[in-house]
């Protein structure tokens, strides 16, 4: 008789994905409306490509990238200074049992995509493709 135990999940649950997307939209709205009053943030166009939630939905890791990839550190520091305000706005916008703690990290997916493109364009890979 097969086991009724659920299989181990390898990725985030549907709920984690949904809540992460809601938070991403809420922060993007805050940034678009200019509600975070900081000179560093105001002088940059900031993209939020992804928000990853912990399994218990109590921690949101928000990936950030300023347009052009410049001044990442000052932008992360500015967002960190306004973390309490941003968390409060997220709590108001999204109906969750607990407002998740938030942390900001540099989004490295663009750099990873560039690395893969360079690998695919390399002579060694092209050589393998022509065989």
Decide: pTM greater than 0.85: no
The answer on pLDDT for 25 being more than 80 is yes
Domain covering 14-130 in this structure, CATH number: 3.30.300.20
Angle formed by the axes of helices 14-33 and 83-93, nearest 10°:
120
Identify the pLDDT of residue 51: 95
Identify the pLDDT of residue 131: 63
CB atoms within 10 A of CB 83: 14
The answer on pLDDT for 80 being more than 90 is yes
The answer on pLDDT for 1 being more than 70 is no
2-20 pLDDT tens trace: 545 555 657 888 999 999 9
Nearest to 43 by CA among 22, 66, 23: 66
The answer on pLDDT for 112 being more than 70 is yes
Domain boundaries, the chain: 14-130
CA distance linking residue 35 with residue 104, whole number of Å: 17
> Hunting for tokens 């509600």 — which residue is that?
35
116 pLDDT band, cuts 50/70/90, is confident
Alpha carbon separation from 46 to 8, 9, 50, 60, 127 (Å, rounded): 36, 32, 12, 17, 39
CA distance linking residue 107 with residue 64, whole number of Å: 5
């Amino acid at each position: 008789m097969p086991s009724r135990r659920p299989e181990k999940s390898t990725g985030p649950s549907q709920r984690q994905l949904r809540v992460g997307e809601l938070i991403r939209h809420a922060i993007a709205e805050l940034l678009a409306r200019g509600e975070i009053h900081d000179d560093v943030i105001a002088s940059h166009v900031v993209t939020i490509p992804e928000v990853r939630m912990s399994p218990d939905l109590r921690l949101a890791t928000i990936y950030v990238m300023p347009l052009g990839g410049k001044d990442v550190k000052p932008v992360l520091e500015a967002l960190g200074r306004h973390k309490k305000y941003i968390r409060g706005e997220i709590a108001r916008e999204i109906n969750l049992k607990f407002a998740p703690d938030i942390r900001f990290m540099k989004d490295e997916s663009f750099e990873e995509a560039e690395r893969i493109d360079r690998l695919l364009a390399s002579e060694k890979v092209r050589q393998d493709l022509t065989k």
